Amino acid sequence: MKQTLLLKVNPQKPDIEKVRVAADIIRKGGLVAFPTETVYGLGADAMNPKAVLALFEAKKRPLDNPPIIHVENANDVYRLAKQVPPKAERLMKEFWPGPLTLVFKRSETVPDVTVAGLDTIAIRMPRHAVALALIRESNRPIAAPSANLAGKPSPTSAKHVFDDLNGRIDAILDSGPTHIGVESTVLDLSVDPPLVLRPGGTPLEALRKILGDVKLHPFVVAEKELSIEKARSPGMRHKHYAPNAEVIVVEGAIPAVLAKVKELAESYRLKGAKVGVLATDETAAAYRAVVVKSLGSRFNLEVVAQNLFSLLREFDAEGIDVIIAEGVPTEGLGLAVMNRLRKASGYNIVKAE
């Protein structure tokens, strides 16, 4: 067990002394969790293979799933990537700093373990003053997967990080809850048209405005388990976002969803399970008999995304056995929300009609 240092830092005006303490840890090969605009990341020096190995170990993450490399300046991309296509430059100008990760051909200077032996590298510039200050003060790119134990929902608060990783990492920079709540969008530009490997904080609609044609990888919209040979992103092969509870997603038009959720909740209750319903503001009042949590309004998918992971963790903390979740529309951030929910359910999806 390590002693995990907790450092509270103002999200807008980070206390530079505290950021320097954290940056020192990174430079010495240690592990620091820090906030980004999406979720908390667990950072290590991307150019130090030992530090990156320790990162995989702390998260219990399989070595074949590489982390995203975080930079504080778009120019750093030219040192980490072999080629930067014009489309990438347009996207960097438009969306960085922000929740968009771009996949490039990688430069040989990046250690193999950092990219899990792939010939590509995933890079993003986060839109968060603390993350940017930490990278700047560390003076090197920071490899940072989400700061959860592998397979658990991503952390949207320092408390989530603490619950998963206390004693396993050196420090946590705590700047309160994250703003977006789902991870960055991962876009592969090595193919034409560009391919979304993971929907996230940058909506597909926004990418299409800039690029025209953008395709979704079949995994992104999968409603069932696909064969792993089709995976283009290593992360697609691994179980993700899953709380301890069993998750069932009910999709369809509202009245049918309401009836189906009620029916399922009742049948699990009769079997003796502790049932939780993940609802929305428009429907929550209809489910009186069980533990009900609302993601927010179905018409405000930004708020739904913000609340998703923390509510999944709350159900676990309350000892819920089965979570019955309503589907939400797959537009804007809803696409990322549904991708996470479907994965969390292990594709246990019920179509209500």
> Which residues are near Mg ion by CB under 5 A?
146
Q: Give every CB contact of residue 110 below 8 A, 6+ residues apart in sequence.
A: 46, 47, 69, 80, 121
d(CA 130, CA 93) in angstroms, rounded, equals 21
**Neighbouring C-beta atoms of residue 174, cutoff 10 Å:** 21
Among 4, 38, 157, 175, binds ligand TXA (CB under 6 A): 38
Which DSSP symbol is given to 171?
Answer: E
Among 33, 51, 52, 121, binds ligand TXA (CB under 6 A): 121
Among 66, 97, 141, 181, binds ligand TXA (CB under 6 A): 66
Least Å from the CB of residue 39 to Mg ion: 8
- Which one, 192 or 318, has the nearer CB to ligand TXA? 192
Q: Give every CB contact of residue 120 below 8 A, 6+ residues apart in sequence.
A: 103, 104, 105, 106, 188, 190
User: Residue length, the chain?
Assistant: 353
d(CA 59, CA 148) in angstroms, rounded, equals 6
Q: What 3-state DSSP class applies to 338?
A: helix
- The residue type found at 225 is E
The region of 23-31, 143-151, 259-267, 302-310 touching ligand TXA under the rule CB under 6 A is 143-151
Does 65 contact ligand TXA by CB under 6 A? yes
Which DSSP symbol is given to 114?
Answer: G
- Residue in the shown chain whose Cβ atom is closest to ligand TXA: 235
Does 33 contact ligand TXA by CB under 6 A? no
Does 183 contact ligand TXA by CB under 6 A? yes
- Which one, 45 or 326, has the nearer CB to ligand TXA? 45
Q: Which option in ligand TXA, Mg ion, none does residue 184 bind, with CB closer than 5 to 8 A by kind?
A: ligand TXA
The region of 2-10, 96-104, 259-267, 320-328 touching ligand TXA under the rule CB under 6 A is 96-104
Q: Which option in Mg ion, ligand TXA, none does residue 118 bind, with CB closer than 5 to 8 A by kind?
A: ligand TXA
b or e along 285-323 (b: 16 or more beta carbons within 10 Å of the residue's beta carbon)?
A: eebeebbbbbbbebeebbbbbbbbbbbbbbbbeeebebb
The site map against ligand TXA for 211-240 (x = CB under 6 A) is ----------------------xxx-----
Q: Give every CB contact of residue 50 below 8 A, 6+ residues apart in sequence.
A: 29
- Which one, 4 or 233, has the nearer CB to ligand TXA? 233
d(CA 68, CA 45) in angstroms, rounded, equals 12
d(CA 233, CA 102) in angstroms, rounded, equals 12
Among 33, 46, 51, 68, binds ligand TXA (CB under 6 A): 68
272 — alpha (psi -120 to 50), left (phi > 0) or beta? left
The region of 11-19, 81-89, 183-191, 281-289 touching ligand TXA under the rule CB under 6 A is 183-191
- Residue in the shown chain whose Cβ atom is closest to Mg ion: 146
- Which one, 103 or 311, has the nearer CB to ligand TXA? 103
- Which one, 98 or 155, has the nearer CB to Mg ion? 155
Residues that bind ligand TXA (CB under 6 A): 36, 38-39, 41, 65-68, 99, 101, 103, 115, 118, 120-122, 126, 144-146, 183-184, 186, 197-198, 233-235
